[in-house]
Chain A
Amino acid sequence: MASLTPETSLRLRRTPLLVFVFSYTLLTGGPFLWVATMSLRTTAEILANPYAPPTTLHWEKFYEAWVNSNYGTYFRNSAVTVVSAVIIITIIGAMAAHGLARYRFRGARAVRFAILSGMVLPPQLIILSLFQILLGYGLYNSLLGLTLVYVAAHLGMTVYILEGFFAQIPQDLFDAARMDSYGDLEIFWRITLPIGLPAIFTAITLNFIILWNEFLFAVVFLTDDEKRTLPLGIMHFMGSHQLDIGMVATGLMIAIAPILILYAVFSETMIRGMTAGAVR
């Protein structure tokens, strides 16, 4: 083989790479596009030809899902529960992380172990007894109960991420603050939080994504249709009788939409935040 110039050899090496990149993009973006097109077609159209683009755009399906199938309610329930849970987790998680990262006190190791061990527990371990307990607290079949369960379930991971980051903040800053007689909570407020913002953003993002899509706890702890969250709502169309593929696709799009919009707008900040907090 004749000797290759540096340019051609570079290009040659790149081709398999480009092929791979292209295929993988198809693999990740493709299914989503497919669902998007299906959400605008009726089930009959889909069954006739699953891969054709929509001929008429049935926007009314979205309306039908939102109003007739109660998607509006499910969306609201999801929004209320998840936003509240994320706010609470972030606040008390950041406080706990700061406490564990900054201060030495008796029992610190035990507390750290306790809170982080929550990460490792499989949900099945506690789901069976959680409903008994929720009932004891009078919180069964309520959004408040579900919110509290969400908070408890994700506290471990949040503290894990935040503590790791907060611990990296140089001690000098805090010593200097002490010298300037800042109160402890002021230190938290003015130093840890602003500097720790990328990691906090990471935690918020991760928690929001995971909780928005959470399914198991919601299915067991919510019984009223009025209280159902979105993931449960999607299952509504996968009824025992007809598999209404078109409406399922519409439902999927409604569920994905908020996250996608958030992501499209904030992707840069989100990714920067996520990586800053999680990279060790």
Chain B
Amino acid sequence: MTNCRARVLTVALVLGIGAALAPTARAEDVTLQVWSHEADEPAKVAFREMAARAVEKAHPGVHVKITWYEKNPMYAALKTALPAGQGPDVFYLEPDQTDYITSGYLLPLDDLVKWDNIYDWARAVWIHDGKTWGVPQEAYTNEIYYNKDELKKLGVMLPANAQFGEADFLALIKKVRAEGITPVSQGVGDRPYPGAYIVGESLLHKLGLEDYGKLLKGQLSYKDPRVIAVLTWVKELVDAGAYPKNFMTLKLGESHYYFYQKPGALMFPVGSWFTGRAFVPVDKGGMPENFPLGLMLFPAIDNAACNECKTLGVGASFVVNAATKHKDIAAEFLNAMSTPEMGKRWIETIYLQTAIKTGDVQFTGPYAAYFTELLERQKGEKYFIGMPVDNLEGRCKDAFAQVMNAGFPGGLLTVDKAAAMMDEACLKKN
């Protein structure tokens, strides 16, 4: 074999393999690319696909393709695709991802979306610089779910306003532990926020809406005596054995199971999107049918500014890529997901609150009692919009995940150490 022929052969081989691997071109009219999270929640998949089909029906020649991801791989993919000018037309985003706005990757939606279908407070979360950047779909409040029968067995009565005081709550924790049951199911194995539910809501109660906001934004020190008082009380809960032994590694899905199946816990602080996972068949990890589910408010703190305050979060939202070539179709898709009918469908199939206005919905079906109780718990509540993670960025967010969410409730840090670490990462130095 001569040199020349060998060379040609090699080149041909490489080209051949290249041709086999190259993506085949497809001739299509218009394809709207949508990237969405929540691949493993069939009700949400069905919901969004339904909107996709509605758009396709209204516009022949339009194809809506939804690619389903897990959240972190999706963010990683977006982070590489968008700067390369390659991202999808529409994608899922949560309100804490503000860097997409500041980096100019999103399209303002004020003129594209029918806003009269969306609650104002939900829309407000997405307003920056006077423009609205995302369409909120999902709203939730932070609640404590608990096992009614278990509480009765312990001989403890829930106060009339469904809120225990500091001392009573601590006593309850100790009592439950003495029975050999885990008082609070919680796990931070795969999320940067669950461990901070109790301490976060307690801080909100103590400080009130304005100062809590300041604390999160680094304008108030964690060494403030009010903050220290709350942290000290939470430390007492932790030391009394409030959380499971495998708190640090328990995953979110597992913490659900821990609460209502095995080994069972008394309480489960979580966002009200809890129902999205709980109200599914048991063999898919759902709650047993006759589980005595109750709702209580986060404990009342002594000398608090606002014990009737509660965190309200906006979750799943959708945004439009600033570089999209299909602006109007994208808007169509967003609107298709935001009609009152779709809002009703959201609540009925996904069992979550929504940012979509649904008018007066009569709750029917197996979960009517739950939704009634949920609305009860919302009466008279004042809301702080946004979970802590939605309001933090960069190093402060990382520290929050490691300290307030994991280390401190995990019993690994003292009050002073935790406060010092948080200040170091978050407090704005003039």
Contact = CB atoms under 8 A, between A and B. Distances in A.
B29 interface: no
Interface in A198-255: 219-221, 223-225, 232, 235-236, 238-243
Interface stretch (B14-22, B125-133, B339-347): B14-22
B84 A240 contact: no
Interface stretch (B111-119, B248-256, B405-413): B248-256
A235 B76 contact: no
Interface stretch (B52-60, B65-73, B208-216): B65-73
A91 B35 CA distance: 39
A41 B83 CA distance: 44
Nearest to A228: B73
Main secondary structure of the interface of A (DSSP, over half): helix
Given A88-B14, A147-B21, A189-B1, A220 B76 contact: yes
A73 interface: no
A44 B38 CA distance: 22
B39 A236 contact: yes
Nearest to A148: B18
A47 B262 contact: yes
Contacts of A241: 38, 40-41, 252-253, 276-277, 285
A84 B17 CA distance: 7
A235 B70 contact: yes
Contact of A225 (B17, B22, B67, B81): B67
Interface stretch (A113-121, A138-146, A258-266): A138-146
A87 B17 contact: yes
Interface in B205-224: none
Contact of A131 (B2, B68, B84, B254): B84
B54 to A, nearest CB: 22
B253 A242 contact: yes
Contacts of A175: none
A144 B252 contact: no
Contact of A142 (B21, B254, B276): B21
Most chain A CB inside 10 Å of its own CB: which residue of B68, B76, B86: B86
Contact of B2 (A185, A235, A242): A185
Contact of A144 (B21, B67, B80, B190): B21
A242 B284 contact: yes
Contact of B80 (A220, A239, A240): A220
Contact of B40 (A47, A183, A232, A242): A242
B80 A131 contact: yes
B375 interface: no
Nearest to B19: A144
Contact of A240 (B13, B71, B257, B262): B71
B359 interface: no
B186 to A, nearest CB: 16
A135 interface: yes
A95 B38 CA distance: 48
Contacts of A81: 21
Nearest to B21: A144
B3 interface: yes
Given A80-B20, A223-B67, A240 B2 contact: no
Contacts of B83: 132
A132 B21 contact: no
A32 to B, nearest CB: 23
B225 interface: no
Given A220-B80, A223-B77, A243 B253 contact: yes
A92 B10 CA distance: 9
Nearest to A245: B254
B277 A242 contact: yes
A219 to B, nearest CB: 6
B179 interface: no
29 contacts: A42-B283, A80-B21, A84-B17, A84-B21, A87-B13, A88-B14, A92-B10, A132-B83, A132-B84, A135-B86, A140-B84, A142-B22, A142-B23, A144-B22, A147-B17, A147-B21, A184-B3, A189-B6, A219-B76, A235-B73, A236-B70, A238-B70, A239-B70, A241-B252, A242-B253, A242-B284, A242-B285, A243-B253, A243-B254
Interface of B: 1-3, 6, 10, 13-14, 17-18, 20-23, 35, 37-41, 67-68, 70-71, 73, 76-77, 80-81, 83-86, 190, 251-254, 257, 262, 276-277, 283-285
Given A141-B81, A141-B86, A142-B21, 12 more contacts: A44-B283, A47-B262, A81-B21, A87-B17, A131-B84, A142-B23, A183-B3, A219-B76, A232-B73, A240-B70, A241-B252, A241-B277
Task: Give the 9 A-B residue pairs with the shortest CB-CB distance, closest first.
Answer: A239-B40, A144-B21, A242-B285, A135-B84, A223-B77, A131-B80, A185-B6, A143-B21, A242-B253
Interface of A: 42-44, 47, 80-81, 84, 87-88, 91-92, 131-132, 135, 140-144, 147, 183-186, 189, 219-221, 223-225, 232, 235-236, 238-243
